[in-house]
Amino acid sequence: VPVLTGIRTLYRCLPDGGQGDVHPVPAAALAWREGRVAWVGPEADLPPGWRDEPREDAGGAIVVPGLVDCHTHLAFGGWRADEFERRILGATYLDIARAGGGIRATVARTRAASTEALVARCERHLREMVALGVTAVEAKSGYGLSVEHELRLLEVYDRLRARTPLRLVATLLGAHAVPPEFDGRSDAYADLVAEAMVPAAAARGLAAFCDVFVEEGAFTVAQARRVLRAGLAHGLRPRLHADQLSAGGGAELAAEVGAASADHLEHVGPRGIAALAAAGVVAVSLPLASLYLGQPPLPARRLIEAGVPVAVATDFNPGSAPSCHLPLALTLACTLQRMTPAEALKGATVFAARAAGLEAEAGSLAPGRPADFAVLEAESVEQWLYHFRANACLRTVVAGREAWRRPVSV
């Protein structure tokens, strides 16, 4: 159906304006052709040429640009429910990691999993995501931690492209943790990432971004700088896991290397915020991870006041964020980070697209842009994120093609 009418409000989420400017069109219609938006505006103004086209009535639902989950660790083996319980009983994320659990536990399970099994698992999660209105996903490697295994995870993402309607962006996160083979030799491992992994991933066109986990127990700012500069030299744009468990200069480094985004940032300070603002880096908030690890919420209000665009993503992974429910992350961005529902929506559409390098392909609804959108059963974006439900999505469309529709209940 190339024309959708009866839309209570369509949120265009254009790049201009502030965090809360989502460009709503009340009583809207949307038309598309060959995968791209042909017309969007008030239904009363629908050009005569479009009136005779086959149309579907949205029945008063709202329409938003396809949601963009701009930070996930999609491919991993096993789960870590045991650690979930240990943290509840008082152990910290770092205690568990130091005892050989955490990321290393998942690395062992991921290396042991067959490529076919990893692809099948990812495909299942992507299906859950598309049913929630998500149309684009950034997926990081980071549970292989050797040249061979990191490339294998990136290949999993490459193979998924033929098996999902979603737009998929891959990120090399070889510097996620120091693998057991390099115990006590983190510099040598960072060099391996910079000198072997980055060139190999880039040469084979398997990644768009290079990411590093800057944290006590993971990588230092100096090591991250080496890895990210190597990425830049090979055409991989930098992103960073920064200031998640402590303030460690990650935000400042993101600004220095011109990163597309700095992610987590629960502990970012005034200097980090100023640096992000000056460099135009997107702050990616991950409220599920803050919640699961009991971190203070990201200071969204201070970032927004400083002029930093704030995106919202799931961080889907088996440790700090074992859920790929982006609308849940948005509701948490409202309650924990004090973002308004409109601000959260902008953070999961146009600003998320920017963090994932998809600004030309996703995040906004305007003529000429890809027809990626979600039809949501809610009377407004405020109602959607306030009345949290398992799934409010009625229909997901990617490049003009239906990727999911809620089954008709009897």
Binding interface with Fe ion (CB under 5 A): 315
Q: Which does residue 106 bind out of ligand NIG, Fe ion, none, counting CB within 5 to 8 angstroms by kind?
A: ligand NIG
Reduced 3-state DSSP string for 341-373: HHHHHHHCCHHHHHHCCCCCCCCCCCCCCECCE
**Please, what is the minimum distance in Å from the beta carbon of residue 160 to ligand NIG?**
20
**Please, what is the minimum distance in Å from the beta carbon of residue 68 to ligand NIG?**
17
Report the residue number, 42 or 92, with the smaller CB distance to ligand NIG. 92
Report the residue number, 315 or 372, with the smaller CB distance to Fe ion. 315
Q: Which does residue 319 bind out of ligand NIG, Fe ion, none, counting CB within 5 to 8 angstroms by kind?
A: ligand NIG
Report the residue number, 106 or 364, with the smaller CB distance to ligand NIG. 106
Phi, psi of 43 (to 5 degrees): -55, -35
**Please, what is the minimum distance in Å from the beta carbon of residue 18 to ligand NIG?**
27
Report the residue number, 262 or 392, with the smaller CB distance to ligand NIG. 262
The tokens of 166 are what?
């979603």
CB of 41 closer than 8 Å to CB of 3? no
**Please, what is the minimum distance in Å from the beta carbon of residue 76 to ligand NIG?**
7
Report the residue number, 285 or 364, with the smaller CB distance to Fe ion. 285
Alpha-carbon distance 134 to 19, whole Å?
Answer: 20
Cα Rg of the chain (Å, integer): 21
CB of 122 closer than 8 Å to CB of 160? yes
* CB within 8 Å of 360: residues ≥ 6 apart: none
Distance spanning both ends of the chain, measured CA to CA: 24
- The DSSP string of 298-315 is P-HHHHHHTT--EEE---
Which residue in this structure is represented by tokens 């665009």? Answer: 309
Q: Which does residue 299 bind out of Fe ion, ligand NIG, none, counting CB within 5 to 8 angstroms by kind?
A: none
CB of 254 closer than 8 Å to CB of 240? yes
Name the residues that contact ligand NIG, by CB under 6 A: 73, 102-103, 106, 213, 241, 244, 289, 315, 317-320
Report the residue number, 263 or 372, with the smaller CB distance to ligand NIG. 263
Q: Which does residue 244 bind out of ligand NIG, Fe ion, none, counting CB within 5 to 8 angstroms by kind?
A: ligand NIG
Burial-class residue 272 by CB neighbours within 10 Å (0-12, 13-18, 19+): buried
**Please, what is the minimum distance in Å from the beta carbon of residue 96 to ligand NIG?**
9
The tokens of 159 are what?
């193979």
**Please, what is the minimum distance in Å from the beta carbon of residue 218 to ligand NIG?**
7
Cα 136–41–12 angle (5° rounding)? 30
Q: Residue with the closest Cβ to ligand NIG?
A: 319
**Please, what is the minimum distance in Å from the beta carbon of residue 214 to Fe ion?**
12
Going by C-alpha positions, the residue among 43, 131, 113 that lies closest to residue 77 is: 113
Report the residue number, 109 or 163, with the smaller CB distance to ligand NIG. 109
**Please, what is the minimum distance in Å from the beta carbon of residue 242 to ligand NIG?**
10
Report the residue number, 126 or 242, with the smaller CB distance to Fe ion. 242
